[in-house]
Chain A
Amino acid sequence: MLSRRDFLQVSCATAALLGAGRPLVAAAAGQKVTQDDLLAFEPLGNVTLLHITDIHAQLVPIYFREPSVNIGVGEVYGKPPHITGKAFLEKFGIEKGSSEAYALTSVDFQALARTYGRVGGVDRLSTLLKAIRAEREGRTLFLDGGDTWQGSYTSLKTGGADMVRVMNALKTDAMTAHWEFTYGTDRVEELIDELEFAFLAGNVRDTEWDEPVFDAISTFERGGVKIAVIGQAFPYTPIANPRYMIPEWSFGIREKEVQRNVDKARADGAELVVLLSHNGFDVDRKLAARVSGIDVILTGHTHDALPVAIEENGTLLIASGSHGKFLSRLDLDVRDGRLRDYRYRLIPILSDVIEPDPEITALVEEIRGPHKDELNRVLGRTESLLYRRGNFNGTFDDLICNALMAERDAQIALSPGFRWGATLLPGQEITVDDVYNMTAITYPNVYRNEMSGKLLKDVLEDVADNLFNPDPYYQQGGDMVRVGGMGYRIDPLKPIGQRISDMVLLETGEPIDPAKTYTVAGWASVNEGTQGPPVYDLVSDYLMREKVVNIRPNDHVKVAGI
Chain B
Amino acid sequence: MHALTRRQVLGAGAGAAVVAGVGIPVSALADADETQKMIKEFAGGAAIKEGRVELDMPEIAENGNTVELGVSVDSPMSESDYVKDVIILADGNPNPGVATFHFTPLSGEASAVTRMRLAKTQNVYAVAKMSDGSVYMTKTTVKVTIGGCGG
Using a CB–CB distance below 8 Å, which chain A residues touch chain B? 147, 178-179, 210, 234, 236, 238-241, 243, 250-253, 256, 416-420, 458-459, 462-463, 465-466, 469, 471, 473-474, 476-478, 481, 495-498, 524, 526
Contact = CB atoms under 8 A, between A and B. Distances in A.
Contacts of B45: none
A462 B149 contact: no
A269 B46 CA distance: 47
B118 to A, nearest CB: 13
A198 to B, nearest CB: 24
B145 interface: yes
Interface residues of B, number: 20
B23 A498 contact: yes
Given A236-B148, A481-B147, A498-B23, 12 more contacts: A234-B150, A239-B61, A240-B151, A252-B58, A252-B62, A417-B149, A462-B147, A474-B59, A474-B60, A476-B60, A476-B145, A495-B19
Most-contacted residue by chain B among A236, A241, A481 (CB, 10 A): A236
A473 B140 CA distance: 12
Contacts of A496: 121
Contact of B145 (A239, A241, A473, A497): A239
Given A250-B62, A253-B59, A476 B148 contact: yes
B68 A239 contact: no
A419 B147 contact: no
Contacts of A236: 60, 148, 150
B149 A251 contact: no
B68 A243 contact: no
Nearest to B22: A498
Nearest to B23: A497
Contacts of A243: 62-63
B23 A240 contact: no
Contacts of B151: 147, 178-179, 240-241, 416-420, 477-478
Contacts of A234: 150
Contacts of A477: 150-151
A453 B131 CA distance: 54
Contact of A458 (B19, B146, B148): B146
Interface string B53-94: 000101111110000100000000000000000000000000
Nearest to A476: B150
B100 to A, nearest CB: 22
Contacts of A498: 23
Contact of B150 (A210, A459, A466): A466
Interface in B120-151: 121, 141, 143, 145-151
A417 B143 CA distance: 20
A418 B148 CA distance: 10
B147 A463 contact: yes
B134 to A, nearest CB: 25
Give the most central of A239, A417, A418, A463: most B CB within 10 Å.
A239
B58 A463 contact: no
Contacts of B58: 252-253
A238 B60 CA distance: 10
13 contacts: A210-B68, A238-B62, A239-B150, A253-B59, A459-B147, A462-B145, A463-B147, A463-B148, A471-B59, A474-B59, A476-B150, A477-B151, A495-B19
A462 B150 contact: no
B62 A240 contact: no
Interface of B: 19, 23, 56, 58-63, 68, 121, 141, 143, 145-151
A239 B23 contact: no
A253 B148 CA distance: 17
A239 B59 contact: no
A416 B121 CA distance: 22
A381 to B, nearest CB: 28
Contacts of B150: 234, 236, 239-241, 466, 476-478
A480 to B, nearest CB: 9
Nearest to A497: B23
A383 B59 CA distance: 44
Contacts of B145: 239, 462, 465-466, 476
Interface centre among B56, B60, B121, B147, by most chain A C-beta atoms within 10 angstroms, is B147
Contact of A524 (B56, B60, B149): B149
The 10 closest A-B pairs by CB, nearest first: A240-B150, A416-B149, A476-B150, A478-B150, A418-B151, A240-B148, A473-B59, A238-B62, A252-B58, A239-B148
Contacts of A147: 151
B142 to A, nearest CB: 10
Nearest to B61: A239
Contacts of A256: 56
B43 to A, nearest CB: 27
Contacts of A481: 147, 149
B148 A251 contact: no
A478 B149 contact: yes
B62 A239 contact: yes
Contacts of A239: 60-62, 145, 148, 150
B146 A459 contact: yes
A238 B61 CA distance: 9
A277 to B, nearest CB: 15
Nearest to A150: B151
Contacts of A466: 145, 148, 150
Given A210-B68, A256-B56, A474-B59, A240 B146 contact: no
Given A239-B145, A240-B150, A463-B149, A251 B62 contact: yes
Name, among B62, B141, B151, the residue most crowded by chain A CB atoms within 10 Å (CB to CB). Answer: B151
Contacts of A463: 147-149
A26 to B, nearest CB: 36
Contacts of B149: 240, 416-418, 463, 478, 481, 524
Contacts of B61: 239
Contacts of B143: 465, 469, 474
B148 A526 contact: yes
Nearest to B150: A240
A526 B59 CA distance: 20
Contacts of B147: 459, 462-463, 481
B51 to A, nearest CB: 17
A419 B68 CA distance: 30
A495 B23 contact: yes
B148 A478 contact: yes
A503 to B, nearest CB: 16
